[in-house]
Structure 1
Amino acid sequence: MMFEPIPYSFYKPGTAYFWVHFGLIILGFLIALATVIGQWANPAPYGKHQNSNANWGPMIPQRLGHMISDAVPGVVLFSLVYFLYSFEENERNILNYVFFAMFLCHTVHRGILHPLAMRYKNPKVALGIVLGGGIPNILYHWLNANHIAIAGYYSTYYYDPRFILGVLLFLAGFIINRWADWKLRSLRHSKGHSTKQFIEVEGSKGYYIPYGGLFEFVSCPNYFGELVQWIGWTLATWSLAGFVWTCFSCATFFARSRHNHQWYKDQFQDYPQNRKALIPFLY
Structure 2
Amino acid sequence: MNWYTGNTTFDTVLTIGFVFAALTIIGGAFMPQTPYGRFGTDKWGMALNPKFGWWLMEIPATVVFLWFYLQGPRTTELVPMILAAVWLIHYANRGWFFPLSIRVAPGRKSTFSISIVLSGMFVTAIHGYMNATWFNEFAPHLTRDWLSDPRFWLGLVVYYCGFALILHSEWVVRNLRDPAKLSAGTESDYKIPYGGGYRFVSSPTYLGELTAWTGFSIMTWGLPGLVILLISAGNLIPRAIATQRWYNEKFPDYPQNRKAIFPYVL
The one-letter code sitting in structure 1 at the alignment partner of 2:174 is: R
Residue-by-residue CA offset, 1:5-28 (whole Å, 9 max, x unaligned): 77xxx98x5x4x2x3322322221
The DSSP-based 3-state class of the residue aligned with 1:120 is coil
Structure 1 gap segments, 5+ residues each = 191-203
TM-score, normalised by the number of residues in structure 2:
0.88
Following the alignment from structure 1 to structure 2, what is the Cα–Cα distance between the partners of residues 205 and 31?
Answer: 37
Question: 1:250 Cα shift?
Answer: 1.1
Aligned length: 253
Asked whether the equivalents of residues 180 and 222 of structure 1 are also in contact (C-alpha less than 8 Å), the reply is yes
Residue-by-residue CA offset, 1:107-144 (whole Å, 9 max, x unaligned): 11111111111113546232222112111221122111
Following the alignment from structure 2 to structure 1, what is the Cα–Cα distance between the partners of residues 75 and 130?
Answer: 19
Question: 1:248 Cα shift?
Answer: 0.9
Following the alignment from structure 2 to structure 1, what is the Cα–Cα distance between the partners of residues 251 and 131?
Answer: 40
Q: Indicate the residue corresponding to 1:249 in structure 2.
A: 232
Q: Indicate the residue corresponding to 1:38 in structure 2.
A: 27
The one-letter code sitting in structure 2 at the alignment partner of 1:64 is: F
Asked whether the equivalents of residues 40 and 113 of structure 2 are also in contact (C-alpha less than 8 Å), the reply is no
Question: 1:246 Cα shift?
Answer: 1.0
Following the alignment from structure 1 to structure 2, what is the Cα–Cα distance between the partners of residues 224 and 142?
Answer: 25
The DSSP-based 3-state class of the residue aligned with 1:270 is coil
Q: Are 2:51 and 1:63 equivalent residues in the alignment?
A: yes
Asked whether the equivalents of residues 217 and 226 of structure 2 are also in contact (C-alpha less than 8 Å), the reply is yes
Q: Indicate the residue corresponding to 1:74 in structure 2.
A: 61
Asked whether the equivalents of residues 173 and 229 of structure 1 are also in contact (C-alpha less than 8 Å), the reply is yes
Question: 1:91 Cα shift?
Answer: 8.2
Question: 1:187 Cα shift?
Answer: 0.8
Q: Indicate the residue corresponding to 2:84 in structure 1.
A: 100
TM-score, normalised by the number of residues in structure 1:
0.83
Q: Aligned match of 1:182 in 171, 177, 187?
A: 171
The one-letter code sitting in structure 2 at the alignment partner of 1:261 is: Q
For residues 120-135 of structure 1, what are the structure 2 equivalents within 5 Å? Answer: 120=104, 122=108, 124=110, 125-135=112-122
Asked whether the equivalents of residues 140 and 245 of structure 1 are also in contact (C-alpha less than 8 Å), the reply is yes
Structure 2 gap segments, 5+ residues each = 180-186
The DSSP-based 3-state class of the residue aligned with 1:188 is coil
Following the alignment from structure 2 to structure 1, what is the Cα–Cα distance between the partners of residues 175 and 71?
Answer: 40
Asked whether the equivalents of residues 75 and 81 of structure 2 are also in contact (C-alpha less than 8 Å), the reply is no
CA RMSD of aligned residues (A): 2.2
Structure 1 window deviating more from structure 2 (33-42 vs 170-179): it is 33-42
Q: Are 2:37 and 1:47 equivalent residues in the alignment?
A: yes
Q: Indicate the residue corresponding to 2:183 in structure 1.
A: none
Q: Indicate the residue corresponding to 1:265 in structure 2.
A: 248
Question: 1:146 Cα shift?
Answer: 1.3
Question: 1:51 Cα shift?
Answer: 2.1
Residue-by-residue CA offset, 1:28-67 (whole Å, 9 max, x unaligned): 1111111122233221111111124x1x323333222211
